[in-house]
Amino acid sequence: MSNVRVRFAPSPTGPLHIGGVKTALCNYLFAKKHGGQFLLRIEDTDQTRYVSGAEDYILEALQWCGLTPDESSQNPGEYGPYRQSERKELYRQYADQLVESGNAYYAFDTPEELEEMRENMKKQGVPSPQYNAITRQYMKNSLALSADEVQKRLDAGEPYVIRINVPRNEEVKVHDTIRGWVVFQSSQLDDKVIFKSDGMPTYHLANVVDDHLMKISHVIRGEEWLPSTPIHVLLYRYLGWEDTMPEFAHLPLILKPDGKGKLSKRDGDRLGIPVFPLDWKDPETGNISSGFRERGFIPEAFLNMMVFLGWNPGTEQEIFTLPELIEAFSLERIGKAGAKFDYEKGKWYNQQYLKNLDSKIIAEQNKSVLDEKGITYEEGYLIKAIDLLKERMTFISDFWEVGSFFFQNPSEYDEKLVRKKWKDNIPTLFDDLQTSLSSLDNFTHEAIETEIKGFMERHNLKFGDVLPVFRLMISGVGAGPPLFEVAELLGKEHVISRMGASKEIFNTICAKENA
């Protein structure tokens, strides 16, 4: 496949939803798979919906994900500008061309007249009124009015829009790489506005003109744009660009976890899960919506989660590096059905990546936690602790929660487990274990394990009788990293001290229960 050029074209009307990230990711993977270019184009023709800071957010989000555009407003190529608001002068000539060829027309209808038309149609039993081949005959446009009347209105500077002239009864066929042939009846299509009274094009015209001028070979976008595609196909035909029309691929929707409807910001707020790549502060309300980055996700893990929403590699492999994703990706392996969002699966991906992340990186990001708590430490000790803790961490920020016992004596103990295990002759026997461990000259995990196994044999005890209690004594919890390695890292002095202190606490806990 030669000359592959794709674009991600978001509107700066708010934060970038993960559905947008999915679109950007698929475009990026497809371009890199075929040695092509990935463009970022900001579609800001609707200035009334422009949100300050949204474009910067989009750029920062793509950068965090590692989806760097080959061409953008920050890295322009020969096909710029890359903001539609800066391409304003390009569009008028094509709108005029469409009017001159009879494939578009001037419409002078006021908002009140349009609303009256819709209400009349509803009264006649039409559930979804449209400005189309039938209703335009009765409206104020250059198809229904005389040429003299039209010119008179233009000369008077009367506001107007330009609408596409959709044929009355025609099949418009669209081939979609994911969905195959999709057929639309033109009688069901609206004469969409393609040029507004403020001198700006609408999405439909600007999208087609820009894709043509930027030599876009494939349009990969969300399913919500599929109903607009026949209008775009007609525009390519009317402008004489049918032979260079890009191939289309419409990605499935990302659904709520229960599969009922498209995932939205409101669902994220309701379920307590992020639906944006980064935190977003609403400039109007000041409210902050949670982002994956701030939740502690590793970018590669986030991308792994995203790509599997609707795509199947055809193998059992679940963990992919970005180069591996590029190699494995194909549009043909994307399904048509919506993909249910699974946040827990996303956490699993993050956990898998965290296990393989260099402990020095995790240590660097957690030094401030220790500093804030006034804890002194050796960097080598911190890194060894993280080596042991990584298997039990989902996020880098979990470090203190799962591993605080490496840096301070336990302040709390799992009382339920204490009451279950600290009974019969166990308290007396653990005096013997404490003495045995105190006598070890070489306090390595191998020596500790050997000593504890010998202790168990001497007293005819099982692992379940000893190891949970020993772990409780030195860490305060009943589960954690490999126990003997934990004891070695803590060192003999701390282990023996904690065993002595915890026995008194365990006795107190059990005494309360028996009181």
In a domain, 78, yes or no: no
What was the pLDDT predicted at 49? 85
In a domain, 403, yes or no: no
What was the pLDDT predicted at 45? 83
How far, in Å, CA of 449 to CA of 485, rounded? 9
Look up the pTM and report it. Answer: 0.90
**What's the gap between Cα 285 and its chain centre?**
23
| Strands of the 193-195 sheet, one edge to the other | 104-107, 161-164, 193-195
- Could you give the C-alpha distances from 463 to 53, 86, 312, 388, 457, in angstroms and in order? 58, 72, 43, 21, 10
How far, in Å, CA of 49 to CA of 310, rounded? 30
Query: Residue 27: which of 207, 219, 212 has the closest Cα?
Result: 219
In a domain, 206, yes or no: no
Q: Which residues contact 454 (CB under 8 A, 6 or more apart)?
A: 436
Radius of gyration of the chain (CA): 33
* Maximum alpha-carbon separation in the chain: 111
**Of the residues 265, 340, 384, 503, which is catalytic?**
265
Task: Extract long-range pairs of 75-80: CB within 8 Å, 24+ residues apart.
Answer: 77/37, 77/39, 79/39, 79/213, 79/214, 79/215
How far, in Å, CA of 396 to CA of 357, rounded? 10
Enclosing domain of residue 64: 5-73+211-253
What is the CATH classification number for the domain harbouring 426?
Answer: 1.10.10.350
Q: Do 364 and 309 reside in the same domain of the chain?
A: no
- 483-504 per-position pLDDT tens digit: 999 999 999 999 999 999 999 9
How far, in Å, CA of 131 to CA of 112, rounded? 14
Q: Do 338 and 373 reside in the same domain of the chain?
A: no
Q: Do 190 and 95 reside in the same domain of the chain?
A: yes
What is the CATH classification number for the domain harbouring 340?
Answer: 1.10.1160.10
What was the pLDDT predicted at 303? 96
In a domain, 501, yes or no: yes
- 346-403 per-position pLDDT tens digit: 999 999 999 999 999 999 999 999 999 999 999 999 999 999 999 999 999 999 999 9
What is the CATH classification number for the domain harbouring 96?
Answer: 3.90.800.10
Q: Do 418 and 374 reside in the same domain of the chain?
A: no
What was the pLDDT predicted at 515? 56
Overall domain count for the chain: 5
Q: Do 351 and 362 reside in the same domain of the chain?
A: no
The domain boundary residue, chosen from 366, 398, 430: 398
In a domain, 381, yes or no: yes
pLDDT along the chain (515 residues), means of 10: 90 93 98 97 87 94 97 94 93 97 98 95 91 95 97 97 96 96 96 95 96 98 96 98 97 94 88 93 88 94 96 95 96 95 96 95 94 94 97 94 95 92 90 94 96 94 94 94 97 96 92 71
Q: Do 32 and 110 reside in the same domain of the chain?
A: no
What was the pLDDT predicted at 285? 87
Q: Do 120 and 105 reside in the same domain of the chain?
A: yes
CA dihedral 309, 315, 321, 324 (to 10 degrees): -110
Q: Do 339 and 294 reside in the same domain of the chain?
A: yes
Q: Do 312 and 458 reside in the same domain of the chain?
A: no
Which amino acid is it at 308? F
How far, in Å, CA of 20 to CA of 9, rounded? 9
What is the CATH classification number for the domain harbouring 243?
Answer: 3.40.50.620
Tokens of 500: 């002595």
Phi, psi of 318 (to 5 degrees): -120, -25
What is the CATH classification number for the domain harbouring 375?
Answer: 1.10.8
Q: Do 59 and 9 reside in the same domain of the chain?
A: yes
In a domain, 201, yes or no: no
Strands (E), 61-170: 104-107, 161-164
Is 423 annotated as catalytic?
Answer: no
Q: Do 321 and 335 reside in the same domain of the chain?
A: yes
Q: Do 455 and 390 reside in the same domain of the chain?
A: no
